[in-house]
Structure 1
Amino acid sequence: MEAIQKVREETQAWFAGNLKGDRWIWGICVGMLLSSIVVVYSASVKDAYSLKQGDTEYYLFKHSVLCILSLLIMYWVHKIPYIKFVYVTRMAVWSSILLLIFAMFFGRSVNEASRWIEIPIIGQRFQPSEWAKVALIAHLSLILARHIKGGWNTRELFMEPLALVGVVCGLIFTSNVSTAIMLAGICFLLMFVGKVPIHYLFFTAMGLVFFAGVAILLNSTQRSGTAQNRITAFLDKDVVVYQSQQSYMAMARGGLYGEGPAKSRQRRFLPEPQKDFIFAVVVEEYGTLGGLALMIAYLILLYRGLKAIEATKRPFGGLLSAGLTFVVVAQAFSAMAVTVGLVPVTGQTLPFFSQGGTSLLFTGVAMGMILSVSRGEKMDEKKI
């Protein structure tokens, strides 16, 4: 008993000394990653069997490795004082722009969209839009922090925050309409919090909406035809979208308590059950109560991410934590809204839960940065 008590004390001492920041955020992220391994394994058995020559554990192993990598990235990033991020945000956002342009012309095309870059030798695909989301929010937070007390002029507004958001979201829009719209909305929310004059935001928003609508109607982007068809099908109540129909059936089978772990039947018919529609598998196997528990976890994550602002006296830290929290939670509720039929099918994955490489890793980066902010002020540096 003494040996067990000693091990327990040493373990608690290690966690206390190494895992800094908000413990609620740590607990939710670790809990969701561990829970996702079971659900992804259940949801991916069909695809693994048919695509990987009967190796039903293929995606289980791959997803488990990515979960561990995501946690390691969170740990490494959260150890960096958030004030140091100011030195790399500009380079990060410009590198994301170059990668988005490269993906547009030379990227790997999947589902009629060139949104992937394949890394040579290892054959792993990389989605630059995931990096762009984190980089844009981080650099936008820095720009807004430097002008938080006012002093904007027209040239400054259009050269950095407005033009930057327009370029990054415009490049993402060509291959991923839903991500571009979500990211643009969060950026405008952040600019509103950052006290950018309302009339600038209004006219810029109207311009972006107008040009995005024209692009979709003229089918001038890689995915505009798909986006237009999904919106049309969603608005037409006489049209039954196959993905949505299978999702509703899965949730109906789940009832209040669910069918039980690994007992989903609709996973055999749902397209991408381990990715876009994993929430339907969660509800089928763990019931409405399981789905509500997951929603509550994301709401707590939202609350704790915003509460992390209290740990910093610098505007940059507050804007950074708020922006990245909005990105993660907005994507989560967007994915769940698609599953229950509140919005058209978008292809958004569920952060920390869906199978995926780039999304998991860069969500780990985002949460690590939020945890870094929640650690509080550690450096006596010039106010930003």
Structure 2
Amino acid sequence: METLQRVREDTQNWFAKNLKGDRWIWFVCIIMLLWSIVVVYSASVKDAYSQKQGNTEYYLIKHSVLCFLSLLIMYFVHRIPYIKFVYVTRLAVWSSILLLIFTMFFGTSVNEASRWIEIPIIGQRFQPSEWAKVALIAHLSLILARHIKGGWNTRELFMEPLALVGVVCGLIFTSNVSTAVMLAGICFLLMFVGKVPLHYLFFTAVGLVFFATIAILLNSTQRAGTAQNRITSFFDKDIVVYQSQQSYMAMARGGLYGEGVAKSRQRRFLPEPQKDFIFAVAVEEYGTIGGVVLIVFYLIILYRGLKAIEATKRPFGGLLSAGLTFTVVSQAFSAMAVTVGLVPVTGQTLPFFSQGGTSLLFTGIAMGMILSVSRGENIEEKRI
């Protein structure tokens, strides 16, 4: 008993010493990642048999490693004082623009969408839009923080942030309409919170439409056509959307308490069950109760991420935490809304729950930055 008590105390001391910031965020993220390993293992059975000759452990091992790496990234990022992010936001956002342009012309296409860059030797795909989301929100937070107490002149506003938001969202729009629209909405919200005059926000909307149009003309109208078809199908009740139909069947089977761990039957018919529709698999296996628990977890992240603003007295930390929190939570609720049929099919994944390399790793960066803000800092650079 004494040995167990000593181990428990040592463990508690290690966590208290090494895991700084909001403990609720740490708890929720760790629980979701551990839970996701079980659900992804169950949901990936179809792909394991069709693509990996029945090697079901392949996706289990791959997703477990990515979850560990995401936590590791989250840990190292949260140890960095958030004021130091000031020095890399501009480089980050411009590097993301270059990567998005490269992807548009030379990217790897999957499901007729050029969203990925294939990394040589290791064969792992990298999705630049995930990097662009974090980089744009971080740099936009810095720009707004510098002007929040002062006025804007037209030149400053059009150079940054209006043109910047327009370029990034326009480039993403060519291959991922839903992500571009969601990111633009979050940027609008952040600029409103950052006290950008309303008439300038109108010009931002015009700029977004302009850059999206140019990006489509340079590439193709394929994804715009896909988005239009999905919206049309959603509002036309005579059209049966296969993904939605299978999703409803999965959740109906789950009932209140669920079919049980790894007992999903609709995983064999759902498209991308371990990614876009993993919420349906989770509800089928763990019931409505499991679905509600997941929703509560994301609401906790929303509340604690916004509460982290109290730990900083300067605008950059508050805007950074708010922007990244909205990004993660809005993606989560977008994915769940698709699953239950509240919005058209978008292809968004559940952060920290769906299978995915790039998404998991960059969500780890985003949550690490939020935790860094929640640690609090007494001094923030004067340049902010």
Q: Tell me the TM-score range normalised by the shorter chain.
A: over 0.9
What residue in structure 2 maps to residue 161 of structure 1? Answer: 161
What residue in structure 1 maps to residue 50 of structure 2? Answer: 50
Give the fraction of aligned pairs with identical amino acids, expressed as a percent. Answer: 88
Once the two structures are superposed, the pairs formed by residues 345-364 of structure 1 within 5 Å of their partners are 345-364=345-364
Measure how far apart 1:217 and its partner are: 12
Is 2:167–2:211's contact at 8 Å kept on the other side of the alignment?
no
Measure how far apart 1:208 and its partner are: 3.1
What residue in structure 1 maps to residue 23 of structure 2? Answer: 23
Distance verdict in 2 for CA 1:220–1:58, change over 3 Å: same
TM-score in terms of structure 1 length: 0.97
Q: What amino acid maps onto 1:188 in structure 2?
A: F
What residue in structure 1 maps to residue 106 of structure 2? Answer: 106
5+ residue gaps, structure 2, are none
* 2: CA distance, partners of 1:174 / 1:17: 45
Does residue 13 (structure 1) correspond to residue 25 (structure 2)? The answer is no
Aligned length, in residue pairs: 384
Once the two structures are superposed, the pairs formed by residues 79-90 of structure 1 within 5 Å of their partners are 79-90=79-90
* 1: CA distance, partners of 2:339 / 2:330: 14
User: For each residue in 1:24-77, what CA deviation from the matched residue of structure 2 results, as whole angstroms up to 9, or x when unmatched?
Assistant: 000000010000000000000111111001101110110000000000000000
What residue in structure 1 maps to residue 227 of structure 2? Answer: 227
Distance verdict in 2 for CA 1:10–1:348, change over 3 Å: same
Q: What amino acid maps onto 1:344 in structure 2?
A: P
Q: What amino acid maps onto 1:337 in structure 2?
A: A
Distance verdict in 2 for CA 1:380–1:371, change over 3 Å: same
What residue in structure 2 maps to residue 298 of structure 1? Answer: 298
Q: What amino acid maps onto 2:356 in structure 1?
A: G
User: For each residue in 1:311-347, what CA deviation from the matched residue of structure 2 results, as whole angstroms up to 9, or x when unmatched?
Assistant: 0011000000000000000000000000001111000
Measure how far apart 1:382 and its partner are: 2.7
User: For each residue in 1:252-297, what CA deviation from the matched residue of structure 2 results, as whole angstroms up to 9, or x when unmatched?
Assistant: 1111111111010000000000000000001101111110110011
Q: What amino acid maps onto 1:144 in structure 2?
A: L
Does residue 172 (structure 1) correspond to residue 172 (structure 2)? The answer is yes
Does residue 119 (structure 1) correspond to residue 119 (structure 2)? The answer is yes
* 2: CA distance, partners of 1:130 / 1:199: 29
SS in 1 for 2:44: helix
What residue in structure 2 maps to residue 329 of structure 1? Answer: 329
Moved more, 328-337 or 108-117: 108-117
Q: What amino acid maps onto 1:349 in structure 2?
A: T
Measure how far apart 1:226 and its partner are: 1.1
* 2: CA distance, partners of 1:165 / 1:380: 25
What residue in structure 1 maps to residue 344 of structure 2? Answer: 344
Q: What amino acid maps onto 1:368 in structure 2?
A: G
What residue in structure 2 maps to residue 184 of structure 1? Answer: 184
SS in 1 for 2:115: strand
* 1: CA distance, partners of 2:237 / 2:379: 57
Measure how far apart 1:213 and its partner are: 8.1
Is 1:216–1:228's contact at 8 Å kept on the other side of the alignment?
no
Measure how far apart 1:216 and its partner are: 8.1
SS in 2 for 1:117: strand
SS in 1 for 2:275: coil
Measure how far apart 1:212 and its partner are: 5.2
SS in 2 for 1:335: helix
What residue in structure 2 maps to residue 372 of structure 1? Answer: 372
Is 2:162–2:207's contact at 8 Å kept on the other side of the alignment?
no
* 2: CA distance, partners of 1:215 / 1:94: 17
Measure how far apart 1:222 and its partner are: 3.7
What residue in structure 1 maps to residue 257 of structure 2? Answer: 257
What residue in structure 1 maps to residue 91 of structure 2? Answer: 91
What residue in structure 2 maps to residue 60 of structure 1? Answer: 60
Moved more, 44-53 or 63-72: 44-53
RMSD of aligned alpha carbons = 1.7
Q: What amino acid maps onto 2:24 in structure 1?
A: W
What residue in structure 2 maps to residue 272 of structure 1? Answer: 272
Distance verdict in 2 for CA 1:200–1:381, change over 3 Å: closer
Is 1:216–1:227's contact at 8 Å kept on the other side of the alignment?
no
Measure how far apart 1:209 and its partner are: 4.7
5+ residue gaps, structure 1, are none
